[in-house]
Each structure stands twice: as structure tokens, then as C-alpha cells.
């Protein structure tokens, strides 16, 4: 890991579509300010989903098909919408500019809905039931392919599959593409959708709340936490080298001072055990950002409400920051959990450093750790350094430090 300190990348555009709205950074600012949740009883899920009934989905009105979008899968439509908002917010209007851009899409489940529909076609009608139209969507990069065609992006295009931290890893990899000189600007997008079969299957695996009984609720970091509430959405960021952004006179919302990703020891499909945690990645990311632990004001964590994940992540925070650490927050209680939510965490961190907005954890009654600070009140001043951290099943880990534009 390098230890130089220049801003690795600047964020010039943010786009989002999720249960709380669709648009540019103003949409994210609005729901961070309102701090109201989109989680509620799911409608329109035809299958029996057992005892579970909560989730957070995008209103169908936000994804009305048009002549352009009618052949896109729903998840591709979500990604294109988020990327278009981000590009628009970055003030990019010329297709010639976008030709040189790169694109990184992070997703946990990709277009699994099309895969299920393709296989179901065979089970219904045999080989005659197979859709040549659906098949290309069964490969996860079809989402990025659709975005690249819709926007005219012709630079390097990567799709990264990663449980839990797909969004953060997409942003970190986009920055690595900038550092390698692959493109002067890269759009990083995290996207995952929720659909009936996925909801049911994750229920069969006892992933969501209420795992092991209790109240079905989204309560990350609280003694009541018993699994995540599932959600969906897409968040895109336009990341540029500082020189490129300045050269085109782009509005700079925030800068990414450091970014890294790696792995912690964990059993397959499990979160890291607190007894085997180490801080190597966090140490390196803080060093690269030239930020001692006491200069980090706020930390956006995965905070899904999964007890194993919450425990591991808070143990990491306590280990590196101690009791005087940053104010810990999350966005999961607002929009539900999905594997690529990290892109929204990075976008939210950009809003926190630019406008001082922070989601407060109003549901928090008894934190699982008393030695850490949680966001229970609005900030009085905009912070200068915000950590975004995620940890996924299998031990995947990502961390970024976001700072203000100047």
C-alpha cells in the first residue's frame, strides 16, 4: 500500500435510486435530513414469505418502462438511472467525454431474477421455453453492459461480485483504475434488487430479521438486532482524478483521501470472528489518508443488523479507535440492507463532509457496546474526515476515508 497523501480521487457526481427516491445528491441529502425509514410491509410479493413481511423496495412508478428501457432488466434499469443522475450532477453533457470514462459495477446478486426466470422457462416448457433474450442477463456483467450502451462509456468496464461490500469495493477499484491510468474518470455503481424468489430463499436460509424469533425490525448495533431487513437500490458516483475534474471545471463534492480493500480471516459464508480480527487494512487506509485515528469524526459502517457482522465491525472500531473514536452511523435503517449498499454509504459520507448531514440512529436503545459513540444527534459542524467501512460474509473488507472538497 502506498503512503502518499494527495487526494486519490474527487467525487463530482452522485446519483441514486432507492426506496426513498430517485435523483442526484439532493435526494440523498433529503433523506439524510429527514431520517425517516422506507422499511415497511412489502407489497406485490406473490409467494408465501413465511413469517417475514418487511422490506424496502423501489416504487414501481420510479421504474416505468419507456421505449428505451422496455428491453432492459429491472436491475439494469436501476443502474442506468443512478448512473445518469450521477453523470448529470457531474455536469457532463458531451458523449465524447463519456467515451473515455471507465465503469465499475459492484453487485452481490446481479440479475439473479433473470437467471431464475430463464431456468423456470425450461422447467415449464422444456427447451422450447428457453428465452434467448433472457440468457445474456444471467451473466452479472449484463448490467454494466447496459449502462455502457445507454451512456456511451467505452473505457475499462468491470463488474465485481462481492457479498456485503460490493459498493465500497466498486468505488475502491474505480480509484485503482484512476491510479493505474486506465481512465481519467470512472463511474462506480453499486446495485442490487430485491425480488420475490430472493426474499423467500434468503428467508429459507434464515438470513433476515427476525432470526431466531423476536421482533422483525432493523436495529443495527442494538441488543435487539436479529438480522437485516432486506432492501434494494442503486447508487453511482463519478470519480475523477483531481486534474481531470479541475481541467473541465467540474463541481467537486468531496475527495477520497484513501481507499483499500482486503480480507479478514473468516469461515466460508460467515463473518469474521472477533477473536481473529486485525487492523492491517484500516491502519493502511488511515496512514494513506494521513489521518490518525483521532482525526476521523464520523464512521459509516455496514450496520446491517446481523449480530455476527455488527459484533465484528464494532470490535474492529473499538480496537483501532478506542472509546474516543468517531461517531458511528449507518444508512441501513433508512433503506434496508443489500450487498452493494456501500456505494450509498460513500455517497452519504460525501454529503456529510459537504453539508454536515448525518443519519441518526433513533432506534438505538441498548447498544451492544457501551464503549463506542453512536450518532444519536445531528452534527454541529461538518466533519473533515469520514470513514466508510464495510465487512462482508467470508471476511471481505473495504475502507475509505472521505474528506471535504478543499
Q: Tell me which residues touch another protein (CB under 8 A).
A: 1-2, 99, 103, 108-110, 115-116, 118-120, 122-123, 126-127, 130-132, 135-136, 138-142, 144-146, 148-149, 151-163, 169, 173, 176-177, 179-180, 182, 201, 204-205, 260-269, 280, 394-396
Whole-number minimum distance, CB 324 to another protein, in Å?
A: 28
Whole-number minimum distance, CB 193 to another protein, in Å?
A: 15
Residue closer to another protein, measured from CB, 79 or 361: 79
Could you tell me which residues come within 8 angstroms of residue 56 by beta carbon, excluding any fewer than 6 positions away? 18, 19, 37, 38, 39, 40, 194, 229, 230, 231, 232, 335, 336
Residue closer to another protein, measured from CB, 191 or 327: 191
Whole-number minimum distance, CB 242 to another protein, in Å?
A: 17
Alpha-carbon distance 378 to 358, whole Å? Answer: 6
Whole-number minimum distance, CB 137 to another protein, in Å?
A: 8
Helix (H) or strand (E) segment spanning residue 18 = strand 9-18
Whole-number minimum distance, CB 208 to another protein, in Å?
A: 14
Alpha-carbon distance 133 to 279, whole Å? Answer: 46
* Backbone torsions φ then ψ of 319, nearest 5 degrees: -65, -35
Chain position carrying cell 459520507: 349
Whole-number minimum distance, CB 285 to another protein, in Å?
A: 12
Residue closer to another protein, measured from CB, 57 or 115: 115
Could you tell me which residues come within 8 angstroms of residue 247 by beta carbon, excluding any fewer than 6 positions away? none
Chain position carrying cell 436479529: 226
Residue 8: helix, strand or coil by DSSP? coil
Residues forming beta bridges with residue 41, ordered by sequence position:
54
Residue closer to another protein, measured from CB, 13 or 260: 260
Query: Which segments within 139-285 are labelled E, that is strand?
Result: 157-161, 185-192, 233-240, 254-263
Whole-number minimum distance, CB 160 to another protein, in Å?
A: 5
Alpha-carbon distance 139 to 159, whole Å? Answer: 10
Residue closer to another protein, measured from CB, 159 or 235: 159
Query: Strand 386-391 vs strand 233-240: parallel, antiparallel, or unpaired?
Result: unpaired
Residue closer to another protein, measured from CB, 12 or 397: 397
Residue closer to another protein, measured from CB, 9 or 217: 9
Could you tell me which residues come within 8 angstroms of residue 12 by beta carbon, excluding any fewer than 6 positions away? 89, 90, 91, 185, 238, 239, 240, 245, 250, 251, 252, 253
Residue closer to another protein, measured from CB, 136 or 210: 136
Residues forming beta bridges with residue 189, ordered by sequence position:
105, 236
Whole-number minimum distance, CB 130 to another protein, in Å?
A: 4
Residue 362: helix, strand or coil by DSSP? coil
* Backbone torsions φ then ψ of 352, nearest 5 degrees: -65, -45
Residue closer to another protein, measured from CB, 260 or 359: 260
Q: Are 299 and 326 in contact (CB under 8 A)?
A: yes
Whole-number minimum distance, CB 101 to another protein, in Å?
A: 10
Alpha-carbon distance 48 to 86, whole Å? Answer: 37
Amino acid at each position: 500500500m502506498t503512503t502518499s497523501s494527495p487526494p486519490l480521487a474527487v467525487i463530482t457526481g452522485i446519483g441514486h435510486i432507492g426506496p426513498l427516491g430517485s435523483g442526484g445528491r439532493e435526494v440523498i441529502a433529503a433523506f439524510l435530513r429527514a431520517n425517516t425509514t422506507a422499511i415497511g410491509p412489502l407489497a406485490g410479493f406473490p409467494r408465501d414469505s413465511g413469517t417475514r413481511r418487511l422490506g424496502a423496495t423501489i416504487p414501481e412508478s420510479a421504474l416505468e418502462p419507456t421505449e428505451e428501457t422496455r428491453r432492459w432488466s429491472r436491475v439494469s434499469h436501476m443502474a442506468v438511472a443512478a448512473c445518469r443522475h450521477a453523470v448529470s450532477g457531474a455536469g457532463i453533457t458531451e458523449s465524447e467525454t463519456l467515451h473515455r470514462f471507465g465503469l465499475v459495477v459492484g453487485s452481490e446478486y446481479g440479475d439473479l431474477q433473470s437467471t431464475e426466470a430463464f431456468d423456470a422457462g425450461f422447467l415449464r416448457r422444456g427447451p422450447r421455453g428457453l428465452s434467448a433474450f433472457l440468457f445474456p442477463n444471467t451473466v452479472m456483467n449484463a448490467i454494466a453492459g447496459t449502462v455502457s450502451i445507454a451512456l456511451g462509456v467505452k473505457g475499462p468496464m468491470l463488474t465485481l461480485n462481492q457479498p456485503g461490500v460490493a459498493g465500497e469495493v466498486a468505488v475502491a477499484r474505480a480509484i485503482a483504475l484512476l491510479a493505474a491510468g486506465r481512465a481519467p474518470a470512472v463511474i462506480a455503481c453499486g446495485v442490487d434488487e430485491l425480488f420475490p424468489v430472493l426474499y423467500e430463499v434468503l428467508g429459507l436460509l434464515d438470513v433476515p430479521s427476525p432470526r431466531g424469533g423476536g421482533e422483525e425490525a432493523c436495529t443495527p448495533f442494538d441488543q435487539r438486532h436479529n438480522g437485516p431487513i432486506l432492501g434494494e437500490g442503486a447508487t453511482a458516483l463519478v470519480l475523477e482524478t483531481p486534474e481531470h475534474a479541475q481541467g473541465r471545471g467540474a463541481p467537486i463534492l468531496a475527495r477520497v483521501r484513501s481507499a483499500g480493500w482486503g480480507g479478514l480471516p473468516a469461515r466460508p459464508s460467515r463473518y469474521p470472528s472477533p477473536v481473529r480480527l486485525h487492523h492491517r487494512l484500516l491502519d493502511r487506509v488511515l496512514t494513506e489518508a494521513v489521518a490518525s485515528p483521532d482525526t476521523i469524526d464520523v464512521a459509516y459502517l455496514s450496520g446491517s443488523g446481523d449480530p455476527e457482522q455488527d459484533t465484528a465491525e464494532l470490535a474492529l472500531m473499538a480496537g483501532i479507535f478506542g472509546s474516543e473514536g468517531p461517531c458511528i452511523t449507518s444508512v441501513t435503517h433508512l433503506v434496508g440492507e443489500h450487498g452493494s449498499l456501500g456505494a450509498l454509504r460513500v455517497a452519504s459520507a460525501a454529503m456529510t463532509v459537504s453539508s454536515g448531514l448525518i443519519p441518526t440512529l433513533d432506534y438505538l436503545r441498548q447498544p451492544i457496546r457501551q464503549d463506542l459513540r453512536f450518532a444519536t444527534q445531528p452534527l454541529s459542524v461538518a466533519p473533515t474526515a469520514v470513514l466508510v467501512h464495510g465487512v462482508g460474509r467470508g471476511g471481505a473488507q473495504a475502507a475509505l476515508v472521505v474528506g471535504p472538497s478543499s
